[in-house]
Every structure is written in C-alpha cells, then in structure tokens.
Structure 1
Amino acid sequence: MSSWDGKTRGGLTGYRIFVYILKTFGLRPAYFLLRFVAFYFFLFSRKSNRHIRFYFRQVMAFGYLKTRLSTYRNYYQLGQVLIDKVAVMSGLGKSFTYHWDGEEHLRNMEDGGLLISAHIGSWEIAGNFLQRLDKRFNIVMFDEEHQKIKSYMEDVMTEKNLHVIPLKDDFSHLLAIKHALENKELVAIHADRFVEGSKTISHRFLDKDALFPEGPFYLAARFSAPVTFVFAVKESSRHYHFFASPAKRYEINSKRSVGEDELRPMIKDYICHMEYILKKYPLQWFNYHKFWEEEAD
C-alpha cells in the first residue's frame, strides 16, 4: 500500500521559488509565471498526476478532456494558494478579502478545541485570518516538512501568531497538543493523509472506499475536545471563503480504549463536510497521494 511520506509537494525548494517570484515581481506577475510552473508539473509529475487524475476521472466522473484540463488547473490553483500563503505570512494579508461562514462557532469555543481540516484550499491562510478571534492558534505539521520549512519561512514571516506543533516519532507532540487544549487554545490538524505504519480507518467517501488516519479523531475522543471542521477555499484571485461547522464534543463511552466504532460518527461528519466543499470546489483537492483503496500504487 502506497502512503504519504510526510513531505508536502514542492517542499523547501518550492517555497524558495515562490518567495523569490513574489518579492521580485509581485502577486500578479507571480501568478502569470506560475502558469509555466503548473504546466511543468502537468507534463512531468507522473506520480501526482496519476493520483489527481484518478480523483477527477474516477471519483468526480469527469470526461477525458475535462480531467486533463482540470489537472493543469489544479496545479495552477495549488501554486496560487502557496503564493497567497507566503504573501499573507509576509505581511501582505490586506491584499486579500474573505468571507466567513461559521465564525461564530469558533468564537463560541471558549474552552478551545480541535479544528480538523484537509488538503483542500489553504488552512494556513485561514490560520492567519483567525488572529482576529484573539485566540492562540496551533497547527500540527509533520516533523520532516516542519524542520525544513520553518527556519526559512521565519525569515519572511511578519505575522508570527501561529504556533507549529511538529508530529514526532517519540509522540512528544501528544503532550504539546494536550497542553494547548488544557490552555483553551485552538489546535488545527489535517485528517486526510496517513504515513506508513499509522492506523487507518476505511470509510465511504464520494461513493468510494477511502483510508483515513485514525490519529486526529482519536485525539479528539481521548481528550474529549470540542471539534469543528474548517476549510478555507479560494474563490477568486484575491478572495477566500472560510467555512467552520458548529463545534461538537463527541462523547466516548469506553474509558479503557477508543476503537473504530467510537470514532466513526466523527469521521462520518468530517466526510460529510468534505464532500460538500469538494462538490462546490472540485479543483481545490490538493492531496497527491493514494487515498482511495481502489487506486493503483
């Protein structure tokens, strides 16, 4: 079974390229140059092409030509989101506008809680927007991408209200998450990728069986934390739409162990919100790894 290796597409090299383009040419010229970068990935990124084309062709049922066009547009939108993220984290957040659906749900989370999201749109941009809530905001990130990107991004960041909790092999991140929740802080985490050896749960998603990492849902259950599902999608060149569901605390009856049956109601709700977003914004699915069980490795 193919799984995610913990590295986000583009990595540190991608960040360097986007920062250079943004600082040298500005936002609009950066978008223009991005067209050529996206076309390069469209032509030569075989592995990610295989997975994203499966999503468009088999999952979303797009035709052959629409699948090819959507693949290119998907890479282009991913690049835009990365450029936007760098722009916002570099202090250019006022260049963008945004619309909130569910801001009141986050304001009502006085005891803190988990914000569960996916590789849809850009949750880092959502995190920068969340500073207006006057709450401490933590992002859980895989350690390998965190270590390579953190030091570089710190040189260009002016907004430093976000705190990164790296996922580590020694599970020290669990203590950091527990500490954040005890301090009534918000903790954001993705729940649509898994690394080799991690526990997964199979569930129907867009009419096909998909594998979801157990970890994020287990954390919510074990810590009895309120959960909201959040997404921030790009609707135009400089406008984002933020979605947040009403916070819900999933009560787990078993005190000794938390199994799949206890986690499925939470996963089902998560999938329901993901499906709603993807049906409206199908091009903003940025998961370039095997996800559905019937995909080829």
Structure 2
Amino acid sequence: MSSWDGKTRGGLTGYRIFVYILKTFGLRPAYFLLRFVAFYFFLFSRKSNRHIRFYFRQVMAFGYLKTRLSTYRNYYQLGQVLIDKVAVMSGLGKSFTYHWDGEEHLRNMEDGGLLISAHIGSWEIAGNFLQRLDKRFNIVMFDEEHQKIKSYMEDVMTEKNLHVIPLKDDFSHLLAIKHALENKELVAIHADRFVEGSKTISHRFLGKDALFPEGPFYLAARCSAPVTFVFAVKESSRHYHFFASPAKRYEINSKRSVGEDELRPMIKDYICHMEYILKKYPLQWFNYHKFWDEEAD
C-alpha cells in the first residue's frame, strides 16, 4: 500500500479566494463557484479519481454511471465542507445548524481524552461547535497541512479555543499531546492515513483488507486515555450531524510492550463506527489516496 505524503488538496491560495468570496458575497456564491472547481477535478485529477472511483465501484459496489456521478458529487461535497470550515472559523458559524448524537459522552469525559476520527465529513467544523462544552480542544494534523495555512487562518479565526498540534518529524507532537491529556483536554486525531515509515496494522474494512496507522491507537493505549470515535457529516447545505460513541478506556498491560493483538479491539471498534457512517453517507469519504490492498498505486 502506498503511503501518504502529509499534504492535502488545496492550499493557501484557495483559502484566500474562498475567504474573500465568503466575506464579500456569502455562502451561495462560493458554492456556485465551487461547481466549476469540482468539475475541473472530476475531469483532470487522474490520481484522486482513480482512488475515489475504486471506492465507489469496487468497495461500495456502485454501477458505472452512479460511480461517475458520485465522483463529481464527492468533489463538490468536499469543496462545500472546506468552504463551511473557513466560514465557521471566520466567525460565520451561526449560518449553520447541527444535530448531536452522543454529546453527553463528551461532556462525561471530565478527565479529557482522545477523539479518533477519519477523513469523513468535516471534523474541524465539529471542533468549533464543541467549544460549547467549555473544554480546550486540540486537533492533530500533519505539519505539511499545518504550516502553510495556520498563520493565515489565525488572522481570520474569531474562535480561539481550538488549538492545532502539528505532527513533526522530531516527534515533539507526542509531548504536546501528552501535555494536553494531562491537562484534561480533548485531543482529536485522524486514524485513516499514514506516512512512509509509519507502523501499520492490516484489518478488514468494508469487506476488503486495508492498512491503518498504528500510532493513534498506540498513543491511546500507552496514555490510558478514554477514547471516543467521532464524525461530523454534512446533511444539507447548512446542517451538520455530529456522532460520538460512548467513551471507552482500553485496558493494556503496562508491563508488556503494546503489540498488534492489544490494539486490535480498539481498531475493530473504530472500523465498525466508520462503516456505519459510510453506509449512511457514502459520498463523504474524502480519502484520495490508496487505502485498500487491492487498489493500484
């Protein structure tokens, strides 16, 4: 399975353009412009097309025409989610409504804990909504994603209770995560991508073998932190649905090294929640990299 390079589609220029359109004209014009951007990716983004079409055709078993249509709609929904994220972080959060499933599980995490998610829907938007929990909230993201956008977004962000922890080559992020957990804060991390050199674990996912990064699960086990699996999906143009599972502490024998067998129960639970969400919202799988073993590089 090929690894991810730590970079996500889009960049600082794209954020600048959509922030300008949002602040000048509003959400609807931004969505209208997005139709052309999504169509461009549908036509010319060969690598991501290959991976997302494999997901629709081979994994979800869509027909040929439905796969093509779903590919375009997937790009369009990704763009909407990115625009919504910028809108919310720019102080336009009141433009959206949301429904909670499992908010009580997060309120009960008085000692903090890990919120494990995936590239499904928009976790950053949920992170802004979670500020009503009156807890400091941290999002862990790859340094390549973080550096180019961080300073610009800090200029337009009005909500400051959301903190980014960048994943770095020197592993300094581990200390930041440990410090956040010791302070009883919430730490959100994705567990559906890995970079070259990372340890991985193979597991069945939607009927096919896939590789998952060991790091997030190992971190939860070693820190003995409560774990909840969380997702925020877009249900209409201005409405999101938030899901959170009951928090669970996975008991690991501290006298032994943590191996695959100890981590598999946690990974299995994570996959079960992902499968449930994707069967309800198949268009919101935003992982444009090789994921299943059967895929071509």
TM-score by length of 1: 0.99
Q: C-alpha deviations, 1:19-73, integer Å up to 9, x for none?
A: 2222232101111111000000000001100000000000000000000000000
Alpha carbons 1:18, 1:82 under 8 Å: kept: no
Alpha carbons 1:139, 1:187 under 8 Å: kept: yes
Shift of 1:202: 0.3
Q: C-alpha deviations, 1:82-116, integer Å up to 9, x for none?
A: 00000000000000000000000000000000000
Q: Tell me the equivalent position of 2:36.
A: 36
Q: C-alpha deviations, 1:267-295, integer Å up to 9, x for none?
A: 00000000000000000000000110110
Shift of 1:10: 1.1
Q: What does residue range 80-95 of structure 1 map to in structure 2 within 5 Å?
A: 80-95=80-95
The range that moved more, 132-141 or 17-26, is: 17-26
Distance 2:4 2:47 in 1: 12
Alpha carbons 1:231, 1:244 under 8 Å: kept: yes
Distance 2:104 2:81 in 1: 25
CA 1:35–1:224 in 2, change beyond 3 Å: closer, same or farther?
A: same
The two structures, once aligned, show a CA RMSD in angstroms of 0.8
The range that moved more, 19-28 or 118-127, is: 19-28
Q: Tell me the equivalent position of 1:272.
A: 272
Distance 2:56 2:237 in 1: 23
Q: C-alpha deviations, 1:194-246, integer Å up to 9, x for none?
A: 00110110000000000100000000000000000000000000000000000
Shift of 1:255: 2.4
Alpha carbons 1:41, 1:75 under 8 Å: kept: yes
Alpha carbons 1:114, 1:189 under 8 Å: kept: yes
- Identical-pair percentage: 99
Shift of 1:254: 4.7
Alpha carbons 1:73, 1:283 under 8 Å: kept: yes
Partner of 1:197, secondary structure, is: coil
Distance 1:24 1:289 in 2: 34
Q: Tell me the equivalent position of 1:217.
A: 217
Partner of 2:115, secondary structure, is: strand
Q: Tell me the equivalent position of 2:63.
A: 63
Alpha carbons 1:231, 1:242 under 8 Å: kept: yes
Q: C-alpha deviations, 1:169-215, integer Å up to 9, x for none?
A: 11111010000000100000000000011011000000000010000
Alpha carbons 1:203, 1:210 under 8 Å: kept: yes
Alpha carbons 1:89, 1:158 under 8 Å: kept: yes
Distance 2:254 2:134 in 1: 35
Distance 2:21 2:67 in 1: 29
Shift of 1:256: 3.4
Distance 2:27 2:7 in 1: 26
Distance 1:225 1:2 in 2: 30
Partner of 1:198, secondary structure, is: coil
Shift of 1:3: 1.3
Shift of 1:156: 1.2
Say how many residue pairs are matched: 297
Q: Tell me the equivalent position of 2:72.
A: 72
Partner of 1:229, secondary structure, is: strand
Distance 1:242 1:126 in 2: 7
Alpha carbons 1:89, 1:157 under 8 Å: kept: yes
Partner of 1:192, secondary structure, is: coil
Distance 2:22 2:208 in 1: 39
Structure 2: gaps spanning 5 or more residues: none
Distance 1:230 1:215 in 2: 17
TM-score by length of 2: 0.99
Distance 2:13 2:289 in 1: 19
Distance 2:184 2:158 in 1: 25
Alpha carbons 1:225, 1:249 under 8 Å: kept: yes
Distance 1:199 1:128 in 2: 31
The range that moved more, 150-159 or 10-19, is: 10-19
Partner of 2:32, secondary structure, is: helix
Q: Tell me the equivalent position of 1:118.
A: 118
Structure 1: gaps spanning 5 or more residues: none
Distance 1:56 1:25 in 2: 34
Alpha carbons 1:51, 1:289 under 8 Å: kept: yes
